[in-house]
Amino acid sequence: MLPGMPEKLFVATPTKLLNFADCKRRYRYTYLETPRPQKGPPWAHNTVGAVVHESLAEFWRWPASRRTTAAAVGKLRASWRHEGFRDEQQSVKWRERSVEMLTNYLHDIDPYFEPRGVERTVVFTTARASLRGRVDRIDERPARDGSGGTELVIVDYKTGRRPLTSADASSSLAMALYVLGARRVLHRPCTRVELHHLPTNTIAAADHDDASLAEHQHRAESIADDASAAESRWYDGLTPAEADAAFPPEPGARCGWCEFVRICPEGRRAAPPRSPWSGLDETDGLPAPIAEAEAEAG
């Protein structure tokens, strides 16, 4: 770098940051290795989540006159994919469950409401990092402070099996960064985040303040600093042993849900690879899969 030139910002999404925080070996396999090591088979629970998200995004992109439950269900059925399921019978079962989730969720939705953003990319830049992500939906609603103005609300759809709480909403690094990004991009007040859990048709909401947002920003910058330093070492050139030391695994029960567990000896010892459909079976007694990945910014 030339003298006096500003230091290059580390560019990341919440997913990328959390991957580094959770397991540096997984981060290395996902973002640095070329060619990237072969991943395991697709997860059925990710298929469910992806198709439901796509159907809701399309619903809001349609003109209001077309926004009907029947049209949304038709979109879901037409977009359904069989990736990760045990067999066709299980795939059809979960397609119908997804239809039910979507139908229940849209029952009380006003089709003439216009979100401020759908699958909207927002960016928040600090002195050391450029953090960006794609938000499922950004609403602009009447402000709750009685000012007569409006405020933004960050909405994230969830299809995982575990019911969610306000603690999940307030502790989410991604949601906090979306608040900061929405403020920066749309120039409107924003404090509220909502996790819309479709399986139970419930909303887990939380309100951030300056202190909580500063805490999340500090955490994001700290992870970004560590990831940037590790990447610099990687691109400077590492022996295989040095790469293993710089990007160590974090073996534990969640390793069974990692797409790279089949090529990670420590991960296989910590937990056997799960079947691609394990995240859907409520009777299997297994821990819930790793939280649904946040959408990467395009």
Q: Give dist(CA 144, CA 268) in Å, integer.
A: 50
Alpha helices, H only, 107-172: 166-171
Q: Is the pLDDT of residue 294 over 80?
A: no
Q: Is the pLDDT of residue 120 over 50?
A: yes
Q: Give dist(CA 139, CA 127) in Å, integer.
A: 28
* CA dist 271 → 29, 123, 286, 291 (Å): 19, 36, 11, 17
Q: Give me the pLDDT at residue 298, please.
A: 33
Q: Give me the pLDDT at residue 148, please.
A: 84
Mean confidence (pLDDT) of the chain: 92
Q: Give me the pLDDT at residue 234, please.
A: 96
What is the chain's Cα-based Rg?
A: 20
Structure tokens at 63: 């003109």
Q: Is the peptide bond before 35 cis (omega within 30 degrees of 0)?
A: yes
pTM (2 d.p.)? 0.91
The mean per-residue pLDDT over the stretch 85-101 comes to 97
Q: Give me the pLDDT at residue 235, please.
A: 95
CA 242, 31, 173, 230 dihedral sign is: positive
Beta bridge partners of 206: 193
Structure tokens at 73: 């269900």
Q: Give me the pLDDT at residue 155, please.
A: 98
pLDDT band at 147 (very low <50, low <70, confident <90, very high): confident
Q: Give me the pLDDT at residue 3, please.
A: 58
Q: Give dist(CA 174, CA 191) in Å, integer.
A: 13
Pairing state between β 117-125 and 10-12: unpaired
Q: Is the peptide bond before 3 cis (omega within 30 degrees of 0)?
A: no
Q: Give dist(CA 128, CA 230) in Å, integer.
A: 15
DSSP of 2-49? -TTPPPPPEEE-HHHHHHHHH-HHHHIIIII-SSPPPP-PPPHHHHHH
Q: Is 202 exposed, middle or buried (0-12, 13-18, 19+ CB in 10 A)?
A: middle
Q: Is the pLDDT of residue 140 over 90?
A: yes
pLDDT band at 181 (very low <50, low <70, confident <90, very high): very high
Structure tokens at 241: 């042993």
Looking at residue 116, the DSSP 8-state letter turns out to be S
Q: Is the pLDDT of residue 88 over 80?
A: yes
Q: Give me the pLDDT at residue 5, please.
A: 56
140-154, 212-226, 273-287: which has the minimum mean pLDDT? 273-287
* CA dist 231 → 12, 96, 228, 250 (Å): 12, 44, 5, 18
Q: Is the pLDDT of residue 8 over 50?
A: yes
Q: Give me the pLDDT at residue 18, please.
A: 97
Beta bridge partners of 152: 140, 190
Q: Is the pLDDT of residue 109 over 90?
A: yes
Q: Give me the pLDDT at residue 174, please.
A: 97
The amino acid present at 206, given as its one-letter code, is: A
Q: How many CB atoms lie within 10 A of CB 82?
A: 15
The CA-to-CA distance between both ends of the chain, in Å, stands at 28
Q: Is the pLDDT of residue 291 over 70?
A: no
Q: Is the pLDDT of residue 285 over 70?
A: no
Beta bridge partners of 197: 158, 202
C-alpha 215 chain-centroid distance: 20
Q: Give dist(CA 256, CA 266) in Å, integer.
A: 11
Q: Give me the pLDDT at residue 123, please.
A: 95
74-78, 104-108, 169-173, 287-291: which has the minimum mean pLDDT? 287-291
Four-point Cα dihedral 295, 83, 272, 21, nearest 10: -10
